[in-house]
Amino acid sequence: MPMQLHQDAPRLQVPDRAEETAKMKIDRATWAGQAFARYDRAAVMRIARAVAEAGHAAATQFAEAAVAETGMGVVADKVLKNQLSAHPLVDFYENLDLVSPKVDAERRMIELPRPAGVVLALTPATNPVSTLYYKTILAILSRNAILFSPHPMARRCCNAAAARLAAAAEAAGAPSGLIQCIEEPSVPLVQALMGSAKVQVILATGGGPMVRAAYSSGNPAIGVGPGNAPVYVDPGTDQTVAARRIIDSKAFDNSVLCTNESVLISQERDRSRLERALRAGGAHICSEADVAKLRDWLFPGGHLNTAAVGKSAVWIAGQAGLRVVGTTRVLVAPVALVGIDEPLTREKLCPVLGWALVSSAAHAASMAQMILRMTGAGHSAAIHTDDPQLALDFASALSVYRVVVNAPCSQGAAGFATHLAPSFMIGTGYFGRSSVGENIGPQHLVHWTRLAWNSDPSVRPGDLDGLRAPFAGPEAAPAVPLPFSAPASRPVGEGGVDRDLLRELILQELRDLTRGKS
């Protein structure tokens, strides 16, 4: 009987340390977001510039760290991506004011920007630091606090990068806790964070299951779908130039960008000319035997071998049993058909390019649409042609929201070789079952309160000129919550507890309860 009582006795529930730490980070981010929402645009841009400079200065350091930790990609290319996600990103949005109220006297309306609050940002292993830079600057330009949950394979480089950007932001006047990162990420932890009522929006970049989990979390989410970009080369265009652009794009950072070309489509009558151009650009054209070996190694059991992601063409060739020269940049695999029966026409995230032949431009468009219907709907496609009408006809036949013309698709769809918005989140819209169809920017992290006066001309709205903007500044920020700022100078009572501070916290908790908060 005593033994039974012992077994039935309540056991001490030890809280999960990582989850409790993450909850404290969210509380800290909540305070930081409330404080930052009081800053004016000059302060916001000063902080954004300081963060961009800190990121730019450490671009090489974190590129090397990312490749060393994940084993994916090319250091030089990651350096460039990190740099492009710093000053050029701030420059692009220099004239987009998401801070100041907009007064439209003619329409009798004032629009007041309202930041989301706390942004939970997921970062992938493929582009860890560049994505962290990019999402941080988006959050700052929209006056939001941001908490990162990095892919476990890239947690060290992401935590180091987040700490550097946070220090730069705070030195420029940002509130403490504006930029934070989870030290020990895990699937259960990120799922718990995504469901937190204190998270206002999720920026989900990663695998399909994680993006779907973000959408089903109960919190607003902006997610992106997989890419699988088809690229068509028109016989009338310069084949050498087109081939060089495609090879440069496909080899860039070993194809870890989801915007890279996945399947090359060209006309049968142009095969020899394009093949010579591809070889000249550094491609290895696989024989039938090579294609069989590559398919078996890259898609064992019909599923992508993730060991290939972000690896070089030479390394992949060696693993698959192909003989190639050491300067090979891309493996081109001619295939007889496209679709579910040919795995080499799926997304691969490595420098392996399927190649299919067609009889006409119309056939090319229908084949490209077939590829996108399998995977990559809403994402990206590319065409190389000197005929604008052909480019328009090709684009109108495809279920995508960006078609890159005469440019590398990896950089073009991401806004680094075109005038699209620079982005590491490629919205796939309704075609791809996403909420946004454009490249994600800071404007997607702000909603607007609209003060709309009576439209009857006889009802005067009053003087709308000279209104004072609601920028109280950091001096009017709410009190910082424990455990982040217990003042050392205040008297401490018995047991080491600051009684005045404890009393303040209890009163704040009671106020929150009366407002219906938990």
In this structure, are residues 410 and 261 in contact, taking their beta carbons and an 8 Å threshold? yes
Residue 126 CB partners (closer than 8 Å, separation 6+): 70, 72, 73, 256, 257, 309, 310, 349
Q: Is 409 assigned a catalytic role?
A: no
Listed in sequence order, the residues at least 6 apart from 76 whose beta carbon sits closer than 8 Å to its beta carbon are: 63
Cα–Cα distance for residue pair 119/138, rounded to 1 Å? 10
CA torsion through residues 129, 130, 134, 135, sign: negative
Out of 158, 258, 286, 350, pick the active-site residue. 258
Q: Count Cα atoms within 13 angstroms, Cβ side, for 194.
A: 26
CA distance from start to end of the chain? 40
Taken in order 187, 191, 192, 196, the sign of the CA dihedral is: positive
- For CA atoms 301, 303, 309, 312, give the dihedral sign: positive
* CB-CB neighbours of 259 under 10 Å: 28
Distance CA 283, CA 277 (A): 9
Cis peptide leading into 483, omega within 30 of 0? yes
Alpha-carbon gap, residue 223 to 211, rounded angstroms: 6
For the chain, give the longest Cα–Cα distance. Answer: 90
**Alpha-carbon gap, residue 188 to 42, rounded angstroms:** 40
Q: Which of 434, 377, 375 is nearest to 402 (CA)?
A: 377
Q: What is each CA distance from 215 to 205, 209, 224, in whole angstroms?
A: 12, 10, 10
Residue 388 burial (CB count, 10 A): 9
Q: Which residue numbers are catalytic?
A: 258
